[in-house]
């Protein structure tokens, strides 16, 4: 749809308002558009996209269905449907919608990125690699995908490749909270806690309202304290060993040095809660100790 068409003004204004996170105004603008052209699939698709960006996934799915009723081949309708189903954790329906969306718009890079996330979380790194490679072929300069690639490489013990992807992601000067979140996860996997804190700080600066980012930022701040970092050294070793190697080492230590292992676990628990307490005081003040945050 051309922005120079009779509908162009409504589309452009609604899109701008949505990007400014002025969702109520964006919805109002799109509803005007629908009243003027009630069978326009793009208008319903835009309304669905606004609700999706606002996190109202049930409403997004409803209006995406209206877009597809008007035009079963509407690319935006399928895109919103797929992303909303993914966000709701409905994997089976997401994969169906993504397959249809990719048939209609094979150049949309976000579909393989979301599939990458699914396979990555399951530990299926080979399938995740294939989807990430496709996403990067379609959008080789997108910082979010490069950051996610850095995370995948870190999880695959390719630390040099992870750093290379990190540098490329930062080269494009990202201003996206999710990009910095993936970069922070990658840094944490490599054991680079200073970078993890730096990237988390950028993520929370860009979107201070995101609950997941705020929670992970506070967790990352615990690693500022040397006594906690020292007790994380076994986890750093785990990142550089295969799972079976790590568990074998722990079994040997448990059999040979059981009292020391118990002391270590006790110290770890104490260091964890002490660092958590110090971060809470640092961020919220000492009065926060006596009230719920």
Let me know if residue 97 belongs to a domain: yes
- Pick the closest to residue 181 from 220, 140, 238 (CA basis): 220
Q: Is the pTM of this model over 0.85?
A: no
Looking at the fold, whether 132 and 220 belong to one and the same domain comes out as: yes
Last residue of a domain, one of 40, 73, 108: 108
Let me know if residue 114 belongs to a domain: no
Measured CA to CA, the distance from residue 214 to residue 156 in angstroms comes to 27
Looking at the fold, whether 87 and 19 belong to one and the same domain comes out as: yes
What's the pLDDT score for residue 5? 34
Looking at the fold, whether 104 and 125 belong to one and the same domain comes out as: no
Let me know if residue 241 belongs to a domain: no
Last residue of a domain, one of 53, 80, 108: 108
What's the pLDDT score for residue 47? 96
What's the pLDDT score for residue 219? 86
Looking at the fold, whether 27 and 85 belong to one and the same domain comes out as: yes
Looking at the fold, whether 266 and 191 belong to one and the same domain comes out as: no
What's the pLDDT score for residue 9? 76
Looking at the fold, whether 55 and 91 belong to one and the same domain comes out as: yes
| Token representation of residue 269 | 């628990």
Looking at the fold, whether 9 and 103 belong to one and the same domain comes out as: yes
Let me know if residue 270 belongs to a domain: yes
Looking at the fold, whether 189 and 267 belong to one and the same domain comes out as: no
Q: Where would I find the beta strands (DSSP E) of the chain?
A: none
Let me know if residue 250 belongs to a domain: no
Q: Which residues contact 22 (CB under 8 A, 6 or more apart)?
A: none
Looking at the fold, whether 78 and 37 belong to one and the same domain comes out as: yes
What's the pLDDT score for residue 10? 80
Let me know if residue 233 belongs to a domain: no
Looking at the fold, whether 176 and 73 belong to one and the same domain comes out as: no
| Token representation of residue 220 | 């990352």
Measured CA to CA, the distance from residue 99 to residue 61 in angstroms comes to 17
* Domain region containing 271: 256-286
Let me know if residue 232 belongs to a domain: no
Looking at the fold, whether 145 and 50 belong to one and the same domain comes out as: no
Q: Which long-range contacts link 184-187 to residues 24+ away (Cβ below 8 Å)? A: 184/216, 184/220, 185/151, 185/154, 186/147, 186/150, 186/151, 186/153, 186/154, 186/162, 187/154
What's the pLDDT score for residue 6? 36
| Token representation of residue 25 | 């105004």
Last residue of a domain, one of 209, 224, 239: 224
- Tell me the pLDDT of the chain (293 aa) as tens digits: 333 233 577 888 999 999 898 999 999 999 999 999 899 999 999 999 999 999 999 999 999 999 999 999 999 999 999 999 999 999 999 999 999 999 999 999 999 999 999 999 999 999 999 999 999 999 999 999 999 999 999 999 999 999 999 999 999 888 899 999 999 999 999 989 999 999 999 999 998 888 889 889 888 888 886 776 776 766 666 666 666 666 666 676 666 777 777 877 787 787 778 777 777 777 766 666 566 65
Let me know if residue 33 belongs to a domain: yes
Classify residue 200 as exposed, middle or buried by CB count within 10 Å of its CB (0-12, 13-18, 19+). Answer: buried
Please tell me the total count of domains within the chain.
3
Could you tell me if 81 and 97 are in contact, meaning their C-beta atoms sit under 8 angstroms apart?
yes
What's the pLDDT score for residue 2? 31
pLDDT tens-digit profile of 243-286? Answer: 666 666 667 666 677 777 787 778 778 777 877 777 777 776 66
CATH of the domain at 169: 1.25.40.10
């Amino acid at each position: 749809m051309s922005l120079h068409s009779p509908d162009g003004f409504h589309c452009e204004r609604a899109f701008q308002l949505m990007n400014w996170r002025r969702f109520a105004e964006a919805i109002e603008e799109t509803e005007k558009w629908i009243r003027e052209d009630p069978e326009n699939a793009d208008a319903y698709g835009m309304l669905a996209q606004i609700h999706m960006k606002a996190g109202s996934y049930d409403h997004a799915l409803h209006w995406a269905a209206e877009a597809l009723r008007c035009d079963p081949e509407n690319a935006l309708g399928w895109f919103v449907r797929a992303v909303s189903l993914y966000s709701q954790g409905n994997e089976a329906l997401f994969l169906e919608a993504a397959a249809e969306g990719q048939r209609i718009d094979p150049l949309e890079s976000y579909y393989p990125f979301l599939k990458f996330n699914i396979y990555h979380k399951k530990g299926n790194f080979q399938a995740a690699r294939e989807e990430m490679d496709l996403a990067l072929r379609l959008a080789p300069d997108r910082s979010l995908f490069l950051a996610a690639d850095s995370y995948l490489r870190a999880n695959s013990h390719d630390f040099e490749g992870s750093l290379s992807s990190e540098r490329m992601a930062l080269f494009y000067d990202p201003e996206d909270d999710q990009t910095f979140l993936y970069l922070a996860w990658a840094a944490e996997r490599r054991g680079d806690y200073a970078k993890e804190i730096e990237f988390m700080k950028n993520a929370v600066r860009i979107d201070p309202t995101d609950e997941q980012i705020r929670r992970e930022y506070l967790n990352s701040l615990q690693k500022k304290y040397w006594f906690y970092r020292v007790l994380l050294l076994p986890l750093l070793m785990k990142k550089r060993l295969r799972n079976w190697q790590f568990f074998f080492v722990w079994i040997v230590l448990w059999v040979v040095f059981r009292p020391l292992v118990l002391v270590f676990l006790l110290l770890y628990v104490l260091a964890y809660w002490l660092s958590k307490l110090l971060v809470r005081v640092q961020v919220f003040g000492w009065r926060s100790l006596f009230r719920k945050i």
